[in-house]
Amino acid sequence: METLDRLTLADVRDAAARIAPHAQVTPVLRSRSLDRLAGAELHFKCEQLQRMGAFKFRGACNAVWSLPDDVARRGVVTHSSGNHGAALALAASTRGIACHVVVPEGAVKAKLAAIERYGAQLHPCAATIAAREQTAATVQQRTGATLVHPYTDPAVIAGQGTAALELLQQSGGVDVLITPVGGGGLSSGCAVAARGLQPGIAVYAAEPEGAPDAYESFLRGERFTDIVPQTIADGLRGTIGAINFALMREHVDAVLPVSEAQIVAAMRLIWERLKQVVEPSSATVLAAILRHPQHFAGKRVGVVLSGGNVDLDALPWTNA
């Protein structure tokens, strides 16, 4: 398995080969009206069209298929508010092994239903990172399953980076890449891939103001996690991982904050103009492009839309 000190473009390419029989090559879409609004040429990598509706399948699939047979037979376990749990459950099903997912109280119902639909066993816990980790450790000890962390596992990070690998190949190259950031698996993996392919590319991460641990960590120059996340972007409430922050410090230029109102407005724009169903976490990237135009104006921009698992009974503009 990859380790932090050698996580490179080669590891991302290995992950791409490993997951190729199982993952979708998602399309890159364009919108003239969004280009005009942003003053930039936007290339949207549509991971909402990935299997189970999010980029998370890439990393989970790479982690599951990286396991030796004797280890894989004991199954896998993780903790997740939704997308990673569903991704790991689906990835486990492709290999015919058991999957256990620890889920916090208050998780999006549609995402919990997806986890169960893909065959995982759910283990509820309190809505704190400490409770999630403790419950996962208990399940791991009882079952012998391998922990596949949502974002600090090197195999997961390499798998997530395959989204950027595809994007740069499909677009013919871009000047700037932007992804959402929560725990940092997508951001760090895509940054490693992008800088490996195009050393001069600018790389940014978009983050909700209501969950600013990555922003604060960059500001302070050290990992800062003393934050209680409060954001509509439920997929970005995870605390930035140590391995992820180290990779981001090396390969990401800046973390760009966005407000809740900007997230909702950007989400609606993507639905209206790009005709794609995305969740709030995905919309942070367009929100950041519109709020911080100095980094993007006049450039070719790779925009990773992370997922589309939306609770259709609780759309954020319904009661506006």
Active site residues: 56, 81
- Copy the structure tokens of residue 187: 């951001």
Q: Where are the alpha helices (DSSP H) in 151-279?
A: 154-171, 185-197, 213-220, 242-251, 260-269
Choose among 204, 81, 217: nearest CA to 151. Answer: 81
Query: Residue 234 has what DSSP assignment?
Result: G
Choose among 150, 124, 133, 181: nearest CA to 306. Answer: 181
Rounded distance, CA 192 to CA 203, Å? 10
What angle is formed at CA 212 by the lines to CA 208 and CA 214, rounded to 5 degrees?
A: 110
Q: Is 103 helix (H, G, I), strand (E, B) or coil?
A: strand
Choose among 69, 85, 65: nearest CA to 77. Answer: 85
Rounded distance, CA 266 to CA 264, Å? 5
Asked if 62 and 15 touch (Cβ cutoff 8 Å), the reply is: yes
List C-alpha distances in Å: 162 to 71, 97, 130, 224.
Answer: 25, 24, 30, 27
